[in-house]
Amino acid sequence: MSVTVIPLSDTIGVEIQGADLREPILPDDLTTIKRALRDNLVLVVRDQKLGPELLLATMRLFGETMEQHLTNTLMEDYPEIAVLDSRKMPPDNAGHVIPFGGRNWHTDHTNHEQPPKYTGLYAVKLPSKGGDTSFANMQVAFDALDTKEQVQLGELQTVNKIENFGYISMEDRKKFGTLPIHPLIRTHPDTGRKAIYVHPGKLERIVGRQPEESLNFINKLLDRIITPANTYRHIWRQGDLLLCDNRAVLHLAHRDYDMTEGRVMHRILLRGERPF
């Protein structure tokens, strides 16, 4: 039986129905799934039962796995998988306990020279309520800007740092703290569409501006351009596998749940290209 593609919103996201990822995917179905992810940027397959090996094998259908710098979260036997468990979230330097991905709208691992093209999230355990994740289509957001602002933003570059968090080892801070420079407006290598590409938490500065000025500029920009018209809020179910295209999407994990209940995601990143 062929898979079916169901839109999740007007501007971003699809659900794939009719797929059991424990079984081999037919070539035509895989082509359909990959095209749906390319065109819609977020893709969900529900009700899956995936152990670590099968989860990795499924993700590798879409690309090459890459190292994650969330050192203390990595699965011992499968270090390509980060276990994001709200019950084990340490406090930050200010003493605040904030769940993974819950600080701000962001795209993953911009402090890498070749950041991930896709993030895969597999829902293992969920709280009794809350804990959704929202996704924003930054291609649509960019297209909605006037031409003058598009040109102005297209001239900006970001310097990207690694955060000083307790779950990141000193070794990884040195290895992945090289301050790569990326364009603020990124061109998608498969479609040629342009998108706003930034992680405020990893923003060391905009080239030519001071750090505080840079962060204020980015926060005001995102507050203005991320709207209900270009976002989708995913209500998780256990067994969901979700893929997100980091090259064109920002995401935010909502904090509206009891972290002690346990919200557990298995996360895999797939290596991307150097942004241009």
* CATH number of the domain enclosing 220: 3.60.130.10
Element (H, E) at 14: strand 14-17
Token pair belonging to 160: 């990207």
Residue 238 located in a structural domain:
yes
The tally of domains found in the chain comes to 1
- Which tokens is 6 given? 């169901």
Contact, 23 vs 49, CB < 8 A?
no
Please check whether residue 62 lies inside any domain of the structure.
yes
- Contacts of residue 220, defined as CB under 8 A and 6 or more positions apart, other chains included, come to none
Please tell me the predicted confidence (pLDDT) of residue 166. Answer: 78
Confirm whether 156 is domain-assigned.
Answer: yes
**What is the pLDDT, as a whole number, of residue 227?**
98
Identify each DSSP E strand in 184-240 by its residue range: 185-187, 194-196, 203-206, 231-234
- Here the tokens at position 101 are 């991905």
Residue type, 109: H
Q: Is 250 helix (H, G, I), strand (E, B) or coil?
A: strand
What is the three-class DSSP state of 249? strand
Residue 14 resides in a domain: yes
Among 96, 104, 114, 121, residue whose Cα is nearest residue 42 = 121
Tell me whether residue 276 is in a domain. Answer: no
How far is residue 46 from each of residues 89, 123, 208, measured CA to CA in Å? Answer: 26, 10, 45
pTM given for the model: 0.95
Q: SS3 of 222, please?
A: helix
Q: Is residue 116 part of a domain?
A: yes
Residue 148 sits in which domain range? Answer: 4-271
Angle at 120 between CA 114 and CA 121, to 5 degrees: 135
Tell me whether residue 154 is in a domain: yes
Local confidence pLDDT in tens for the 276 residues of the chain = 589 999 999 999 999 999 999 999 999 999 999 999 999 999 999 999 999 999 999 999 999 999 999 889 999 999 999 999 999 987 777 777 888 888 899 999 999 999 999 999 999 999 999 999 999 999 999 999 999 999 999 999 999 999 888 788 899 899 999 999 999 999 999 999 999 999 999 999 999 999 999 999 999 999 999 999 999 999 999 999 999 999 999 999 999 999 999 999 999 999 999 999
